[in-house]
């Protein structure tokens, strides 16, 4: 989406006049730029841009939903390129009045949506041929493998996805979240598909439903022994950890992450096969 006037948006996946200095708002967009070999155009990133590691050394413009007008302008970008939820709206309106080009990429939480997002970014930057080759050689085959694995007869486990439980509060993915979309990618039924958004839940609520898997999503994919053991008495419930940016960012790595986790979980569910 191109912010064409204060308070209005216009869908666009077309080349921009000048993409030589890009300020990025969204970790998945940063990953795509690196995938396309366009990292030298990046002058600043937001705090969700943690991959690859070299991106962390770039100047920061704040959190994707809490950007700073002054911080962005100080980097003298020719383009602000972000995920669809970048903001806040008042900052975007200020930048539009100044005349700074801004493009927010539509989000669709599917494997096909990831490939469309890559193609959109590539077209904006004039790199469509490179994107097509990468998708054809790497992402499309991974999607075929993922579909095949997900279609395995009898595979439809009950799962819950917990977002960064380090605070002591378990926050579960409900419907209309990237968490539910990721569970759908691996062929799992979401235990909390009847709630909207991300909601706090108790361990007792989770355990009483007896899910097959509890998936902890957090930076670095680490999980403490106490967290894992807290679900150990749940009569077969298994506990795994995934990296938040890799799995819920719906960037270039998400399809492979979904496939790897799916194969891992199926192996645990059917150890003799």
Residues 83 and 29: beta-carbon distance below 8 Å: yes
Same structural domain, 122 and 64? yes
pLDDT of residue 10: 39
Q: How far apart are CA 175 and CA 65, in angstroms?
A: 21
Q: How far apart are CA 258 and CA 186, in angstroms?
A: 6
Same structural domain, 98 and 162? no
Let me know if residue 167 belongs to a domain: yes
Same structural domain, 156 and 121? no
Same structural domain, 167 and 99? no
Lowest mean pLDDT among 85-94, 127-136, 201-210, 228-237: 228-237
pLDDT-above-90 percentage for the chain: 75
Q: What is the CATH number of the domain that holds 75?
A: 3.40.50.1980
pLDDT of residue 271: 53
Let me know if residue 56 belongs to a domain: yes
* Boundary of a domain, candidates 96, 131, 166: 131
Let me know if residue 138 belongs to a domain: no
* Boundary of a domain, candidates 131, 160, 185: 131
pLDDT over 50 (residue 4)? no
Determine the Cα angle at 83 with ends 81 and 86, to 5°: 90
Same structural domain, 119 and 24? yes
Query: How confident is the model over 142-160, as a mean pLDDT?
Result: 93
Domain that holds residue 230: 149-269
Q: How far apart are CA 269 and CA 263, in angstroms?
A: 10
Query: How confident is the model over 178-187, as a mean pLDDT?
Result: 97
Confidence of residue 6 (pLDDT cuts 50, 70, 90): very low
Same structural domain, 108 and 180? no
* Tokens, residue 57: 């050394």
Q: How far apart are CA 12 and CA 22, in angstroms?
A: 17
What does the mean pLDDT of the chain come to? 89
Residues 206 and 185: beta-carbon distance below 8 Å: no
Let me know if residue 144 belongs to a domain: no
Confidence of residue 221 (pLDDT cuts 50, 70, 90): confident
Residue/partner pairs of 54-59 with CB below 8 Å, 24 or more apart: 55/30
Confidence of residue 1 (pLDDT cuts 50, 70, 90): very low
pLDDT of residue 55: 97
pLDDT over 90 (residue 208)? no
Residue/partner pairs of 67-73 with CB below 8 Å, 24 or more apart: 67/25, 67/91, 67/92, 69/94, 69/95, 71/44, 72/23, 72/44, 72/100, 73/98, 73/100
pLDDT digits (tens, 9 = 90+) for 227-267: 666 666 555 678 888 999 999 999 999 999 999 999 999 98
Query: How confident is the model over 116-135, as a mean pLDDT?
Result: 97
Residue/partner pairs of 258-264 with CB below 8 Å, 24 or more apart: 258/111, 258/146, 258/182, 258/185, 258/186, 259/142, 259/145, 259/146, 259/149, 261/186, 261/215, 262/146, 262/149, 262/150, 262/185, 262/186, 262/187, 263/149, 264/240
Query: How confident is the model over 96-114, as a mean pLDDT?
Result: 94
Count helices and strands (H / E) in the chain: 11, 12
256 CB-contact burial (10 Å; exposed 0-12 / middle 13-18 / buried 19+): middle
Higher pLDDT, 225 or 251: 251
pLDDT of residue 112: 97
Let me know if residue 3 belongs to a domain: no
Query: How confident is the model over 77-101, as a mean pLDDT?
Result: 94
Let me know if residue 141 belongs to a domain: no
pLDDT over 50 (residue 134)? yes
Same structural domain, 124 and 199? no
């Amino acid at each position: 989406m191109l912010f064409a006037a204060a308070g209005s948006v216009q869908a666009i996946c077309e080349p921009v006049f000048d993409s030589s200095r890009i300020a990025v708002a969204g970790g998945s967009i940063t990953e795509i730029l690196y995938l396309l070999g366009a990292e030298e155009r990046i002058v600043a990133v937001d705090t969700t841009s943690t991959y690859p590691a070299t991106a962390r050394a770039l100047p920061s413009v704040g959190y994707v939903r809490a950007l700073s007008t002054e911080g962005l302008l100080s980097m003298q970008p020719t383009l602000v390129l972000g995920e669809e939820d970048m903001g806040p709206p008042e900052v975007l309106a200020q930048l539009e009045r100044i005349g700074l080009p801004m493009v927010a990429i539509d989000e669709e939480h599917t494997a096909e949506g990831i490939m469309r997002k890559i193609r959109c970014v590539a077209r904006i930057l004039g790199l469509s041929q490179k994107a097509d080759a990468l998708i054809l050689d790497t992402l499309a085959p991974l999607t075929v493998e993922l579909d095949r694995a997900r279609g395995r007869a009898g595979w439809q486990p009950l799962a819950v996805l917990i977002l960064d439980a380090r605070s002591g509060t378990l926050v579960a993915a409900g419907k209309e979240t990237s968490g539910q979309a990721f569970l759908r990618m691996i062929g799992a039924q979401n235990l909390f598909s009847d709630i909207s958004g991300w909601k706090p839940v108790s361990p007792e609520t989770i355990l009483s439903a007896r899910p097959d898997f509890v998936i902890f999503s957090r930076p670095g994919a680490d999980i403490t022994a106490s967290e894992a053991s807290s679900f150990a008495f749940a009569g077969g419930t298994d506990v795994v950890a995934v990296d938040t940016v890799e799995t819920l960012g719906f960037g270039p790595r998400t399809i492979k992450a979904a496939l790897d986790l799916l194969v891992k979980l199926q192996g645990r569910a059917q150890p003799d096969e």
